[in-house]
Amino acid sequence: MTMSFNVPTEYVQGFIKSGQQFWRAMAGLDANDSPQGDTHTTAEPPEALAAPAALLEAHSAYWPQLASVWTRTLASTMGAETEPVIAPKRGDRRFLAEDWRKNAWYSLLKQNYLLNARLLEDVVDAVVLNEKDKRKLEFFARQFIDSLSPANFAATNPEALKLAFESSGDSLRGGFTNLLGDLQRGTISITDETAYEVGHNVAASQGAVVFENDLFQLIQYAPLTDRVAKRPLVIVPPCINKYYILDLQPENSFVRFACEQGMTVFMVSWRNPDAVMAHTTWDDYVEQGALTAINVALAITRADQVNAVGWCVGGTILSSATAISRARGDDKVASITLLTTMLDFEEPGELGVLIDEAGVAQREGAIGRGGIYSGKELGFTFQTLRANDLIWPYVIENYLKGKSPPAFDLLYWNADSTNLPGPMYTSYLRNMYLENNLCKPGRLTMCGTPVDLGRIDTPTYVLATEEDHIVPWRSAYRSTQLVGGPTQFVLGASGHIAGVVNPASKNKRSFRASGDSSGDPDAWLASAETRPGSWWTHWIEWLKPSAGESVKARTRPGSARHKPIEPAPGRYVKVRTT
C-alpha cells in the first residue's frame, strides 16, 4: 500500500510565491505585482502530499554523504588524497577553477552546496501535486538553488577573490561600476554591445525595403546568382525578437545561404511596438503581417505562389495565415517550412510553468484592451529558463570580477529585445498556451475566418531541435499530424537557436531525418537516420521541387507599384527597447 502524508499547502504555495517575487525582483520589476497574479491554479489550494519512502531515502542518502564530505575534507587538509563525495552534473561549468578541487575550503563549500541542492531536489520530487503546480514548484526551486551557488558571491568565489587581491581591489571597483551601469540600463550585460551595429556587421545582407505598413517592413534581398527560382521565399520571423537572427554575419546567415542557392528572399521585419501599436491584435499580425507580406512578394515577382518559412511564433502566425488563405480559396503558398514552431501547445515546455489562468486574466485586465508588454521583462523570462547559462555567469564575470563581456553576435541579438502589443500578447497566451485552441479545427476564428490547420495541404518541412527548452521537439512533431499535406520532419542537434543557426559551410553538428511517419514521435526517433552536418542542405534539396522554374535574376528590387523605400535593413529593426 502506498502511503503519503500532508505537506502544509502554505509551505508549497509560499515557496512558489517567494520564487515569483524573487524572479521579478531580479528582473527589476515590482515583486508584489506578479505577472502571473495569484499562484494558485485552482479555486482551492492544491493538497500537497509527500511519499515518506522517498523522503526517507533522500535523507538516508544525505546524512552519511555529508559526514563523508567533512571527514574527507579533514583528511585532505592532512595531506591525504581523497575523491569528492559528489561532483557537478555534466555540463555544469560553475566549478571549473582548480581551487574548487584542490583547495580544501572551496571543495567543502562546493560539495556542501551540491549535496544540499540534491536534497532539495529530492524533497521537491517527493511532493505530490497536480502536474501544473509540481512543475511550477520545480521551476522556482531550481531558481532558488541556482541563485545560492557559492560561485555567485565574491566572498566564496576563489577566482573573484584572487583577482581582487592581484588587482588591489580594481576588479571589485570595476564590478561595482558594471553593476551601476546595468542597473541604469535595467538589464544584465551579456555581450559587448558596442562591437556591433545593425546594418553594418549584423543584418548586413544587401537589399532594400520594398513595402512597409504600421506593423512591418518587407525586405527584398539582392540576388547572389544569375538565375533564381521563379517562386520567392518569404520568411516570417518571430515578433518576439528581431529578424536578424537569420542574418547575423555572412558566415552564419540563413538569408545569404538561401540567396546563394538561387532564391529570391523576402524578410518580414516586425516593428518594435510602442504606444502607437498598443491596440494591435493577433489578427493584425496574421492579416496585415504574414498575408500582406505574401501578397506583396507575389506582386513584385509575378509568381504564382511563394514558399514560406516561419520560426517559432512566426511559424504559428504563418500557419494561421496559410490556413485562413486556403479557407478563403486562395492557393498562394507552395510550401511551408516551420522552424522550432508549436501548433499544438498541449506540452509547451518550461514556459508553460509561468502561464496560468490567474496570470493570463491579470494580463488581460492590465493590457489586453490596450497596452505594451515590456520586451525586457520577456527577455528576462527567457533568461531564467537557463539561468546558469544566461544570468549567473554574467553576474560573476561582470560584477565579481569586474570584466566586460566579450563580443558575440548571437548574444547581441538576444539582448536586442522587442516589446509586444498587449492585445496580441494576451490573445497568444490564452488561445495557444492556456487553452490550446489553434490545433482544434474551427475552435478559433481569425480575421473573420474559422481556422483549420488541416486545410494546409502544401508540403510542410518541420524542423525541431533536440535540446529545445522553448519548443519541445515532441510538441513540434505534432505539427506533422495537424497539417493536411505531406510532411518532412527533421530533428536537429542543439537548442532553440543554435540548432537552427547551423551554417552548412561549417558542417557542424548533425540532424535526424526519414523516420517512421505513423504519428508516434518516439517511433520516429527510433527509426530516424542520423546524418552529419547542417539541416540547411537537406532543406534546400527538399525545397527545390516547390521552387518553380529557373528565371533570370532581377537586379532591381521592388516593382513599379512597390518601389524601394530605403536600403536594408530598414528603420524598424534599428528601434531598440528602452
Count Cα atoms within 13 angstroms, Cβ side, for 549: 6
**Cell numbers standing for residue 485:** 499535406
SS3 337: strand
SS3 331: coil
Bridge partners for 512 per DSSP = 491, 530
- Tens digits of per-residue pLDDT, 307-365? 999 999 999 999 999 999 999 999 999 999 999 999 999 999 888 888 999 999 999 99
CA 473 to the chain's CA centroid: 13
SS3 22: helix
Give the position of cell 528582473.
Answer: 27
What is the rounded CA–CA span in Å between residue 323 and residue 319? 6
**According to the 3-state scheme, what is the secondary structure of 448-504?**
CEECCHHHCCCCEEEEEECCCCCCCHHHHHCHHHHCCCCEEEEEECCCCCCCCCCCH
Q: What is the DSSP string of 67-114?
A: HHHHHHHHHHHTT-----SS-PPTT--TT-STHHHHSHHHHHHHHHHH
Residue type, 333: V
**According to the 3-state scheme, what is the secondary structure of 414-459?**
HHCECCEEHHHHHHHHHHHHHCCCCCCCCCCEECCEECCHHHCCCC
pLDDT of residue 511: 97
Residue pair 86/113 in contact (Cβ under 8 Å)? The answer is no
pLDDT of residue 25: 47
Inter-CA distances, 40 with 131, 136, 561, Å: 13, 10, 55
CA 294 to the chain's CA centroid: 26
Range(s) within the chain of domains with CATH label 3.40.50.1820:
207-372+417-574
**Cell numbers standing for residue 158:** 576563489
- The catalytic site residues sit at 312
What is the rounded CA–CA span in Å between residue 276 and residue 373? 13
The CATH class of the 207-372+417-574 domain is alpha beta
Residues of the chain with pLDDT under 70: 1-51
- Tens digits of per-residue pLDDT, 30-54? 444 444 333 334 434 455 555 677 7
Give the burial string for 37-56 (b: 16+ CB within 10 Å, else e): bebbbeeeebebebbeebbe
Residue type, 8: P
Residue 549's CB is within 10 A of a number of other CB atoms, namely 9
**Peptide bond between residue 421 and the one before it cis (omega within 30 degrees of 0):** no
Which residue from 442, 410, 240 is spatially nearest to 341, judged by alpha carbons? 240
What is the rounded CA–CA span in Å between residue 573 and residue 557? 19
**Cell numbers standing for residue 458:** 502544401
Residue pair 573/244 in contact (Cβ under 8 Å)? The answer is yes
